[in-house]
Chain A
Amino acid sequence: MATQQETTEARQHSGVGFVQTKLATLFVPPHWLKLAGGGELGPIQVAYETYGELTPAKDNAIFICHALTGDAHAAGYYEDDDEKAKPGWWDDLIGPGRTLDTDKYFVICANVLGGCQGTTGPGSINSETNQPYRLNFPFITVGDIVEVHSALTRHLGIEQLLAVIGGSLGGMQVLEWAARFPKQLRSAICLASAAQLSAQGIAFNAVGRRAIKTDPEYKDGEYEAGAGPRYGLALARMIAHITYLSDQSIEMKFGRRLQDHDTFTYEMLPEVEFQVESYLHYQGKRFVERFDANSYLYLTRAMDYFDLESQYGSLTNALGKTDARFLIASYDSDWLFTTTQSKEILRALIECGKHVSFIELKSPFGHDSFLIEIEQLQNMITPFLEQAYQSQLIESAQKT
């Protein structure tokens, strides 16, 4: 068995090694963030991490947009991580020689507005009242989230990003970014995402929110930090988790296998008979430890509201202003964000003559595939980024 010291040393030297979360304070009044739903917000603290070095020309920055419950910790370890801690959520993709090669690129990942992992959200203290915002936090949209991230990149001195990349809600941010700040990105990678959430997706979000709100501990959002609707939030996560899997992946992973017995117990009280139940309970429990119920309500609503077409008149209007190169990918077993939805984006981009590549990847893992099938992403994203970077270098050489 590896000693604690051996583990620590191995972590220091693998991937991006040890990382730290940084904080930036943006939209300091009177420069409030004007919100899509009306009202203003400021100051806004943003938690972010960076990996690799920014070139003097500031032309190698890649921004990662995380999915619904993700955070800024995309790669590496924290120095005080215990032995069992996992690295950042996209660690396999980020690091020296990896797809988002930190020897070449400067990679940024930030927690979203309304989140609960360092960026201002409903759990943050409102400086005017010295109380947590809770449900006094203003309504936020994907557009507002992107406004904050765009401001963060400018705060870091970056005029234009080499790429913005994300899956699921992260992919929605990528599309919004292309629509809202068309000049700010050179390429856009949108994985397992859509220009609008399907009615089915809204339905599942609604059930999750109901689970949270009907938990007696929710207390109309006025729960104390550390307390809150644990059962409701776990239930919301269990439901959502099912939508991230596929029929095939559940079957492969658990089948109808039982958890603690070889035969049925014929008892109603224990909640866990099948392995799949045990797994969902575990996912729910772990989620409660790291996520805030009010943030979950705000972010799922932001996702429900996202609709690029209605917001900009049409998809071609939304995506027609950018010269970014696009890479769109869907997964054949993803029923939450389907290939048909990715193809709507593709059609619009072809219609306005954009540089767009598309692929439907084969994977049994459903919507979660973009977090699991790293090799597929590697094969496609590595050459795509390389080309985007080369074309940028050629262009800037021509200018000088």
Chain B
Amino acid sequence: MQDPSLEMTDRMLLEQIQPGSRVLDLGCGDGRLLARLREERGASVLGIEIDITQHHAAIARGVPVIQADLDEGLQDIPDGSFDYVVLSQTLQQVLHPKQLLEEMVRVAKRALVVVPNFGNWRIRLQVLKQGRAPVTEVLPYEWYNTPNLHLMSMHDFQDLMRLLGIEILQEIPIINHRAVERAWLANLRAQHVLYVLQRQCEPHPVSQSKNNAESELESLKPGSR
């Protein structure tokens, strides 16, 4: 059975993409999203996928796909060759998320990234109460078999964007399988977040986020940071 949140994430991504765009999907699997983008948005598409069975499945959908390892970067993709680059539920699994994000804003005008939010209250509560690595619906793995190498909260992600000089055009928290454009206490409540990113001309200096309740209150208004 297909994960219902996948369908929802796909729909959110679809809505972000202007008709007729050129879209690159990193970790495209069997090309499901790209096939929809092509049919519903008239997009011209390309996928990157490491798994050979998924690669063939994408070809069988008529979706063009490159077999490549995201951990080796996007060096085969020329600068600015796409309007959008999509990375859905994969950033936490790559070896070098920082480099990949830089590559993404190099190859496309806009980057759409969906990540799990480690700042979610259930995770925090589990860590606090049980003193163990958390296992949740969103992160359903034990510490020793998880594909998720890098876990971040919304604040952590925002910090990295500032460090890289990448502008967050939109930040859409996903709470209980629903996209909530204006979420109260987003970093506590969101299970996932969709970011719409764009390269900025000048990188901003990094300011450390405050690790206390105060910073949660600051994030009451999305985009206020």
Residue B77, interface by CB 8 Å = yes
Task: Write out the residue numbers on chain B whose beta carbons fall within 8 Å of the beta carbon of A384.
Answer: 59
Asked if B46 is an interface residue, CB under 8 A from chain A, the answer is yes
Q: Are B64 and A386 in contact (CB under 8 A)?
A: no
Question: A346-B76, A351-B78, A353-B44 in contact; A380/B66 too (CB < 8 A)?
Answer: no
Query: Interface size of A by Cβ–Cβ distance < 8 Å?
Result: 22
- The listed residue (A351, A353, A357, A390) touching B65 by CB distance below 8 A is A357
* A116-145 at interface with B (beta carbon < 8 Å): none
**How many contacts A-B (CB < 8 Å)?**
53
B8 CB, nearest partner CB in chain A, Å: 28
Q: How many whole Å from B76's CB to the nearest CB in chain A? A: 5
| Complex CA distance for A379 and B57, rounded to whole angstroms | 10
Partner of A350, one of B52, B60, B76: B76
Beyond A347-B76, A347-B78, whether A358 also contacts B67 by CB under 8 A is: yes
Expressed in whole angstroms, the minimum distance between the Cβ of A207 and any Cβ of chain B is: 33
- Contact B60 A351, beta carbon cutoff 8 Å: no
Contact B56 A383 (CB under 8 A): yes
* A346 pairs with B81, CB closer than 8 A: no
What's the dominant secondary structure at chain B's contact region? mixed
The interface residues of chain B lying within 8 Å CB-to-CB of A26 are none
B55 interface residue (CB < 8 Å to A): yes
Are B62 and A391 in contact, with the CB atoms below 8 A? yes
- CB–CB A359/B81 < 8 A: no
Give the size category of B's interface with A. 20 to 34
- The A-contacting residues of B in range 61-84, CB under 8 angstroms, are 61-62, 64-68, 76-78, 81
Chain A residue nearest to B57 (CB atoms) is A383
A325 proximity list for chain B (CB < 8 A) = 64
Given A353-B44, A357-B59, A380-B56, verify A343-B76 contact (CB < 8 Å).
Answer: yes
Q: Which residue of B lies closest to A344 (CB)?
A: B76
A residues near B22, Cβ cutoff 8 Å:
353
Q: How far is the CA of A279 from the CA of B127 in the complex (A)?
A: 66
Contact A359 B78 (CB under 8 A): no
A348 to chain B, nearest CB (A): 9
Closest residue on chain B to residue A328 by CB atoms: B66
What are 13 A-B pairs at a CB distance below 8 A? A327-B59, A346-B66, A347-B77, A351-B81, A355-B64, A356-B46, A358-B68, A358-B76, A359-B55, A359-B67, A379-B56, A383-B59, A387-B60
Q: Beyond A347-B78, A358-B66, list 8 extra A-B contacts (CB 8 Å).
A: A346-B66, A353-B81, A355-B64, A357-B66, A358-B67, A359-B52, A359-B67, A383-B60
